[in-house]
Every structure is written in structure tokens, then in C-alpha cells.
Amino acid sequence: MPLLEVDSLTVEYKTNRGKIRAVEDISFSLEKRETLGLAGESGSGKSTLGLSIIKLVPSPGVITKGSIKIDHVDIMKLPEEKMRSIRGRKVAYVFQDPMTSLNPVKRIGDHFVELIQTHEPTVEKKVAIERTKRILESLGILPERINDYPHQFSGGMRQRIMIGLGIAMNPCLVIADEPTTALDVIVQAKILDLLESIRDVYEMALILISHDLSIILERCDKIIVMYAGHMVEYASSAELYKNPRHPYTQGLLESIPNIELTGQKLSAIPGSPPNMLNPPQGCRFWPRCMNAKKKCSVEEPPLIDVENNHWVRCFYGGEGALNG
Amino acid sequence: MWKTIIGLDAFTAEKVRLMGEIIKVGHLKKYFPVQKSFLEQLLTRKMGYVKAVDDVTFAISKTEIFTLAGESGCGKTTTGRLVVRLLEPTSGEIYFNDENITKFKGEKLRLLRRKMQIIFQDPYASLNPRMHLGEAVGHPLEIHNIAKGKEKKKMVLDVLDKVGLTPPEQFINLFPHQLSGGQRQRAALARSIILKPEFIVADEPVSMIDVSLRTTIIDLMLGFRKELGLTYLFITHDLAVAKYISDKIAIMYLGKIIEIGTKEKLFLNPLHPYTQALLSAIPVPNPKRKRKVIELMGEVPSAINIPSGCRFHPRCPYKKAECIEKEPQLIKIEDSHSVACYLY
């Protein structure tokens, strides 16, 4: 049985101006030692999806439908007090901005000790400190720096500390939400390597959320492409790269520059993402789609398995794009 | 001086002689003083400086897209702002069309700004939220007494149409908050070209734009180069974008250009150990490709305490004794390709 099972998850933000379905009817599963990539542009609902897995959707967001099972536990039924033991202990969440996620007036060691003692009240401080030192060492940070404050570390180091806090309780799932967006490429590569090695050593599953399709393609086993709250395509990364079926995925792949190619011609997807208060009827992508037909603007396309667990939310399964 | 440093080949040198260089920058420096606490001021007389730009020399030929690339804090943005005279250089010279503009002031500077413009990274911050597009985009025309009233409106409509904000009659009355990020950046682009400048500094113009819309902004920029004969100084941290758009690329590290060349040569044959590491770390959108990332020791040092000799030596896997003692200068290795490193 898979480690994480999400079934027809729907999240809504109830705002003054109307209801926004940020995540609609999303299902997927994830095994140990697997990396799932959530790709999509700003506002596509990828962060909301990530947060909803640990029931942390910010107000006024509400999970209106669906079930989430982590390690065989249905967390939708768990009361809030029980959720605290899931967060941190079973699932770690690494946020984008390591500066605002650490308490600036607290030493690094204290962050760890507090976390460990919250989840395991019987652990003595001395033991917790020893454990912290071991974690810091495994992250490539000198254990002597345990008494330093967050501002004494660089951005990359802070993100390492955040990852360390995430894995301190030995969770089975790490959700990393744009973990390297604020970092330079060299540091980015190191952080992604670190996440990968931690995943293998601790036998965890990893969800990587990023707007950068290059990172997702390079680092993930499976990929969900999100558009306007919908999962428009779901496939293994090799399959998605070789054989993208949804016109949106095809457009995205054609718009990212690849440093290994020369004389590459990039193209753009016309138009811009829809206003989520008032999404288009039918397929949410049809106003920008080159192959849209009458049907697309009326009916919502279902998610179809085109072959071997390669799912596409398009009436034509990408065929329209291939023919036209 | 510039030709020998940048190491042009014979053909390009001839082209440059005919076309001319629009921008020449020589030994440009910008040091920002560091605020000290009162106690530190009492205890020491020495001022601390952030050496944001530390002796940078380059030239940009007409209609060229010249890119400054590097990690955050390497001084690329400061260099861009110095070139358009938004910041006063500590020392060094800037030439625009063979005229020394380093000391331009008042009316002269105002007239100069008709010819050089800048586009900023954040289109949410660079447009006044209380000005509708007609006002914001047409503002430069008024400042420079070029057009007013109906004539101004006609020019604004024309330029909005050019950047793809169509129908312009509708967009002219919209406020920035009614536009998407991509549309705002188009508006910023419209404002920068309405004066028909010769030279534009584009500081990370697509970094905040969604991937699916980036290409349209880049294509617009490339189109204006052809149509208006524009020259760009493009500033970016994203080398994949740099490779797509540029003719020539300069890699900066801690306030200095450490390698410069045409994009073909730089990407095919990166010479400086830092450039090699930087290129190896760029993600490639291909799941089958397993990259070998070149490991660098430590992180970028502070620009207040720049290491002696070659500023990259503490992290360099190939450092030698001389790297610690003396700073290497840019030397020409092949046509249109120079590097500042003792390995060559």
C-alpha cells in the first residue's frame, strides 16, 4: 500500500468576492523513495495542494471534498490535536523562504531542541543536543555552530537547517515547497542533492513543488502538471518529457530554455491564466489552447488514462495537438 | 583599450569599427560605505566598504545584446544602474556613443536619458498604482516635452499596440492592478521604448513572469532590437535565458568580470573554474540526463572582505600560490573570449 494516498481532493477559498476552487478533484499516490513533482505557474494551486496534505490550508481555505491517507492513517478524520503529531513527526514541510521560517532571536540548537522535546517530551535536553549535532553534521554544517543565530548563516545554510528541522523527527514524507527559489543555482543544486540523499537514506517520499519545470523534470520520478486548480497531466517524468499529451504541458515544455541545446526556438502560450473567481466554462485551458474545439468550451474534459498510468485532462488526449 | 581587453576577432573588430560601440565602460568601480556602530566609529578610523563593482571594463556594440550574468550580490544590477547613471560611480568612466557621460549633470543628463532607458525586474513596483497606463506610458513624453494632449495619446496608443496590449483603446484607461504580471511588464517595456531610445538596460525583465509568458516578453525585446536598432544590456541570474537571448555574455563574481565572450564560445568552452561550476549547476529539463555538478567549496564571501589575489581562490579547486598573491587580469584566450584566471 502506498505511503500517501490522495483521493479526489478539493480545496476552496471562500472570499468576499466569491468562491475560488484552488484545487479541484485531485487524486494521486506516492511510494517510499519516490519523488513527486508538482509543476505549475503561479496561482495554479500547487502550494494549496501541498499545504492541504497536512491540513494547513490558510483561512479562508477549506478542504471541501476528498480523503488523504498518510501511512494508512486517514488524516481527514483526525482532530486538530492529533494533526500536530502528524506534522513534523510524519510529514515535514520545507517552505520557500528560510529567513522568515526561522525565529531570528533563537539559537539554531534551540529550534531543534524545542522540536524534539515537543514531540518526545521524555527526551532530556542533553540527548536532544547530541541528536541535533548529528543532524547538523549530516547536513554539512559544523556541529559547533549549534549556538549561532539564524542571521549568522547564509541563505543556503538556512535552507539546510530548515530541511534538518524537517527531518529531525524522521518523517516518512517531506513536502518541499519551492525550496530553492530564493537561492542561486550552485546552492540550489546542492540543496536538491541533499534532499535526494536524505530521501534515500531515511527511505522517505518527497514532494517537490516548483514553478521551474527544469528542476521538476530533472529531479522527480512522477509529475503532476497543474493548471488553474486542475491536474491536467500526470505521468512519469520520462514519459512526460518524451510524450507530453496535454496542450498546456506541450506549451510549457516549448517555453523553457535548455542550456544544452543551441539555436533553440522558444514559443509562448498565448493569453494568460484565468481569473479563478470566474474560470472559463468547460476546459479551463481552452481560451489559450491552439486546438480547442467547440466541445472544449462547453464540457469539462475528464481525466483519461491514455496509456500505462499516463493521465491527461483533455478530450483529445493530446491527439488534437498532434494532428493539428 | 577596450578592444584588446575584450579580445575581438578580426571580423567582429571590423564590424565594430563600422557599427561602432554604443557603450564603453572602463575601470568602473562602485564602493558603498558600510554603516558602523558608534563604538566601532570611535575605535577605528578605517571606513568599511562594500565593493559592489570593483574595476569592470567592457564595451557593447550597436544592436548587440550584452548580458551580465552571475549570482545574487555579484554586482550585475549595480553595474547596470551605473551605466544609465542612476548611481554615481566611485571611479571609472562610462562612454555613450564616444562621449564621456560619467560626469553629466542637470540638463545634459536629462537629454541623455531620452537615449538610454531601464526596465526593472518587478513590474508590480515599477508602475505607479495611481496612474492609468495612458498616463504612465505617456509620462516620458511630457517630461521631455515631446508631445502633449492628442498627439501624446496617439503615440501611447501606438506603442501599446506594439507591445501587444491590444486593443490599446481599452488598455490605455486601465490601472496596473487590473493587469496581469506579464501585461505589466509589457507596459513597462512600452514606457521604455516610447522615447525611441538607442540603449536599454533590462534588469531581470522576465524573472518574475510566468514561464509560459516569458517568451512573449523576450520576443518583443528581440523584435524592437530589429525594428528600432536597439542595443540591450541584459542582466540576469538565469544562464539558460542568457543563452537564448544574448550575443555576448560576461560572467561576474564578487564585483568583477571573470570571463567574457560570445555566447557560443562561453557555453561550448567555459574556461574559468567558476563559470564551469555555474554552468554545471543549471538544471536541464531532461529526466534522462544525469548531470555532474562541479562541487565548490564554501559560499560566496562577503563583498566587504574580498579575498586577496583572485577573489575566487578560497573556493577554487585548482588554486595555486600565485592566485592568493596577485589578482589575475582578463586576458584574451581565443577570438572574442577572455578570462581572468592563471590556469590559462
Is A234 domain-assigned?
Answer: yes
pLDDT at position A319 is: 62
Domain B2-64+74-104+247-339: CATH class, spelled out: alpha beta
> Residue A135 corresponds to which amino acid?
I
Contacts of A251 in chain B (CB under 8 A): 212
Q: How far apart are CA B127 and CA B178, in angstroms?
A: 12
Cell of A226: 497543474
- What is the per-residue pLDDT across B230-278, written as a single tens digit (0 to 9) for each? 999 999 999 999 999 999 999 999 999 999 999 999 999 999 999 999 9
Domain residue limits at A308: 228-324
CB contact under 8 Å between A259 and B241, yes or no, is no
- What is the per-residue pLDDT across B298-309, written as a single tens digit (0 to 9) for each? 888 888 889 999
A residues 199-258 lying closer than 8 A (beta carbon) to B: 211-215, 217-220, 237-238, 240-241, 248, 251-253, 255-258
- Cα distances from B155 to residues A132, B172, B178, B228, B265, in angstroms, run 64, 11, 22, 15, 41
Q: What is the mean pLDDT of residues A14-19?
A: 89
- Domain limits, chain B: 2-64+74-104+247-339
Q: What's the full length of chain A, in residues?
A: 324
Best B212, B215, B251, B316 member to test A by mutation, with max A CBs in 10 Å, is B212
Residues A231, A311 contacting (CB under 8 angstroms) = yes
Q: How far apart are CA A229 and CA A44, in angstroms?
A: 5
Is A311 domain-assigned?
Answer: yes
Q: Is A146 exposed, middle or buried (0-12, 13-18, 19+ CB in 10 A)?
A: middle
pLDDT at position B6 is: 46
Residues A247, A318 contacting (CB under 8 angstroms) = yes
Q: Residue A169: phi, psi to the nearest 5?
A: -95, 15
CB contact under 8 Å between A185 and B281, yes or no, is yes
pLDDT at residue A320 tops 80: no
- Cα distances from B90 to residues A120, A228, B51, B93, B159, in angstroms, run 57, 49, 10, 10, 37
Q: How far apart are CA B204 and CA B190, in angstroms?
A: 16
Contacts of B264 in chain A (CB under 8 A): 262
pLDDT at position B1 is: 42
Is A254 domain-assigned?
Answer: yes
Q: Which DSSP string corresponds to B40-90? A: HHHH--PPPEEEEEEEEEEEEETT-EEEEE-STTSSHHHHHHHHTTSS--S
Q: Kind of pairing, strands A205-210 and A35-39?
A: parallel
- Cα distances from B99 to residues A305, B13, B24, B103, B108, in angstroms, run 65, 20, 9, 11, 12
Is A267 domain-assigned?
Answer: yes
Q: How far apart are CA B13 and CA B15, in angstroms?
A: 5
Is A118 domain-assigned?
Answer: no
Question: pLDDT band at residue B17, thresholds of 50, 70 and 90?
Answer: low
Contacts of A269 in chain B (CB under 8 A): 212-213
Contacts of B278 in chain A (CB under 8 A): 185-186
Q: How far is CA B50 from the centre of its chain?
A: 19
Best B177, B184, B211, B288 member to test A by mutation, with max A CBs in 10 Å, is B211
CA distance B117 to chain A (A): 26
Q: Given the C-alpha cell 476546459, which residue does it identify?
A: A283
Question: pTM of the predicted model, to two decimals?
Answer: 0.88
Contacts of B72 in chain A (CB under 8 A): 184
pLDDT at residue B122 tops 80: yes
CA distance B307 to chain A (A): 18
Those residues whose C-beta lies under 8 Å from the C-beta of residue A307, and which sit 6 or more positions away, are none
Q: How many CB pairs under 8 A join A and B?
A: 117
Q: Which helix (H) or strand (E) is A306 found in, with range?
A: strand A303-307
- What is the per-residue pLDDT across A52-65, written as a single tens digit (0 to 9) for each? 999 999 888 999 99
B residues 134-193 lying closer than 8 A (beta carbon) to A: 180-183
Question: pLDDT band at residue B14, thresholds of 50, 70 and 90?
Answer: low
Q: Quick count: other Cβ atoms within 10 Å of Cβ B45?
A: 6
Q: Choose the closest CB to A156 out of B279, B288, B299.
A: B299
Q: Choose the closest CB to B182 out of A215, A220, A272.
A: A272
Cell of B288: 534522462
Question: pLDDT band at residue A321, thresholds of 50, 70 and 90?
Answer: very low
Is A90 domain-assigned?
Answer: no
| Count of domains for chain A | 1
pLDDT at residue B11 tops 60: no
Question: pLDDT band at residue A260, thresholds of 50, 70 and 90?
Answer: confident
Strand, coil or helix: B251: strand
Those residues whose C-beta lies under 8 Å from the C-beta of residue B279, and which sit 6 or more positions away, are A259, B239, B267, B270
Q: Given the C-alpha cell 484552488, which residue does it identify?
A: A22
**ipTM, 2 decimals?**
0.85
pLDDT at position A323 is: 41
pLDDT at residue B342 tops 50: yes
Those residues whose C-beta lies under 8 Å from the C-beta of residue B266, and which sit 6 or more positions away, are B249, B251, B259, B260, B275, B337
Is A244 domain-assigned?
Answer: yes
Residue B260 in contact with partner chain A when CB distance is under 8 A: no
